[in-house]
Amino acid sequence: MKHKERGWAEPLKVEGMADDHTHILSIPSFAEQEGAQPLSAEEIWKKSREAGVEKVMEVACEEKYFEEAAEFAEENEGVFYALAIHPIEALAYGGREGYLRAFEKMKSVISAHPKKLAAIGESGMDFFHADLSSLPFQKQALLDHIALANDLDLPLQIHDHGAHREVFCALKEGGAKKVVFHSFSGGADFARAVCQEGWYLSFSGMVTFKNAKEVQEAFMAAPRDKILSETDAPSLTPSPYRGRVNAPWMLGWTLRFMGDLLHLPASEIAKITRENAQAAYEAWR
């Protein structure tokens, strides 16, 4: 029945996985909307660990999740966290004043919970959900996040939706040091340009999509020591379960697809991406 196909999908167990970008705290309400059996954030993390996920980065890029994400990381082994104001969220404040107030709140959560903070993110630019007239505002918000990441000596996770050139130029202009492009969506040439800077590419379930040939080419062109793996749950569920509810325990499907592209077993891709994540995020060592 169609109804059943909207719920959770089966994990693919692979030992030693690292999911460097997910939103576990957003999964329970999303799952409820999709008619999936209710699970708490803790239960989702437990099931993910059973499927072989060793470490996860809980990304809170909306103000309402800042405190909760920091506490969730503190209370759960293997969970680390990242904070930022998502570029589309930044626009929702309707001006610099409201946005800056939220930015200050973010900094206060960070100083109260330093232990498991592993990155700043996701920040960046999005010209898919917003039009080009918002470029100056989005760019300034990205520059603010670059400065904060540099100050704290943390990697910055980038959201780039239809904004490759603009994001790349802003990163150079702001003097960004450690950078991870989350759910990388560019082609092979852009992948090479990003890696040339010493930055990382994190690949989500998007790489498994039939219409994502460019992203697959980027993955194959990327230096092996620059690739990371993520779910971006609850969205971007990998094939063959596209459209179902995503969770960190689905990462194995993406790793298996990546392995097929490089003629390597999923366990080997898990090892490569886990070791790269340890190199990228000091807190993960």
User: Where does this chain bind Zn ion (CB under 5 A)?
Assistant: 232
Instruction: With beta carbons less than 8 A apart as the criterion, state whether 122 and 84 touch.
Output: yes
Q: Residues 203, 258: contact at Cβ < 8 Å?
A: yes
Distance in angstroms (rounded) separating the CA atoms of residues 182 and 123:
10
Specify whether the CB–CB gap between 269 and 258 falls below 8 A.
Answer: yes
Tell me whether residue 140 or residue 235 sits nearer to Zn ion (CB atom): 235
Q: Which residues of 246-285 are buried (b: 16+ CB within 10 A; e: fewer)?
A: bbbbbbbbbbbbbbeeeeeebbebbbbbbebbeebbebbe
Q: How many CA atoms lie within 13 A of 47 on its CB side?
A: 18
* Residue nearer to Zn ion on the CB measure, 20 or 232: 232
* Tokens 């969970």 found at: 79
Asked if residue 250 lies in contact with residue 8, where contact means CB atoms within 8 angstroms, the answer is: no
What is the smallest separation between the CB atom of 23 and Zn ion, expressed in angstroms? 6
Nearest distance, CB of residue 263 and Zn ion, angstroms: 29
Minimum gap (Å) between residue 56 Cβ and Zn ion? 12
Q: How far is the CB of 25 from Zn ion (least distance, A)?
A: 12
Query: Of 252, 181, 267, 172, nearest to 219 (Cα)?
Result: 181
Nearer to Zn ion, 126 or 232 (CB): 232
Nearer to Zn ion, 160 or 166 (CB): 160
Encoded tokens for 170: 């802003």
Q: What residue number has its CB nearest to Zn ion?
A: 232
62 vs 232 by CB, closer to Zn ion? 232
Q: Which is nearer to Zn ion, 144 or 160 (CB)?
A: 160
In the bound complex, what is the minimum distance in angstroms from residue 107's beta carbon to Zn ion?
21
Nearest of 83, 75, 67 to residue 45 by alpha carbon: 75
Q: How far is the CB of 13 from Zn ion (least distance, A)?
A: 24
Shortest separation between residue 232's beta carbon and Zn ion, angstroms: 5
Give the number of C-alpha atoms closer than 13 A to the C-alpha of residue 63, restricted to the C-beta side.
15
Given the complex with Zn ion, which of 92 and 264 has the nearer CB atom? Answer: 92
